[in-house]
Amino acid sequence: MENEELYQQFIEVSNKISELTARKKTLSDMVMQKFKAEKIEKVEAPNGLITVVSRAKWVYSENVTDVEKQAKKTIKAIKDLEEEDGTAKNEPTEFLKTTLR
């Protein structure tokens, strides 16, 4: 496979993933709305199973969230100091950025 073909395929796949992700979100919202309206928890299709699942999420008091916000500010200030005095090291990481046209 030549470089240009490789790059083109990468861009095409990236574009398809973006489009499919958006489409999946739209379909997911529609399916969830239908499930709730019809009080359905599970549907079996020829190629898979769709199930409504629930996950517990802790919701904390304002006291905890205020302390958490302050702690984040304190940690950010300490990180800033380490960046300024050279204690913290900047380690670049490489990744591919795709700009679609």
Q: For residue 99, what pLDDT is reported?
A: 82
Q: What is the mean pLDDT of residues 29-47?
A: 95
**Higher-scoring residue by pLDDT: 10, 100:** 10
Can you name the residues that pair with 42 across neighbouring β-strands? Answer: 51
CA-angle at 63, arms to 57 and 66, nearest 5°: 90
Per-residue pLDDT tens digits for 9-21: 999 999 999 999 9
Domain limits, the chain: 3-85
- CA-closest candidate to residue 42, choices 33, 55, 53: 53
The HSE-up count of residue 85 (CA atoms within 13 Å, CB side) is 6
- Contacts of residue 14, defined as CB under 8 A and 6 or more positions apart, other chains included, come to 98, 100
pLDDT above 90: residue 88: yes
Summarised one tens digit per residue, pLDDT across range 40-81 is: 999 999 999 999 999 999 999 999 999 999 999 999 999 999
Closest Cα to residue 52, out of 77, 30, 31, 79? Answer: 31
Is-above-0.85 flag for pTM?
Answer: no
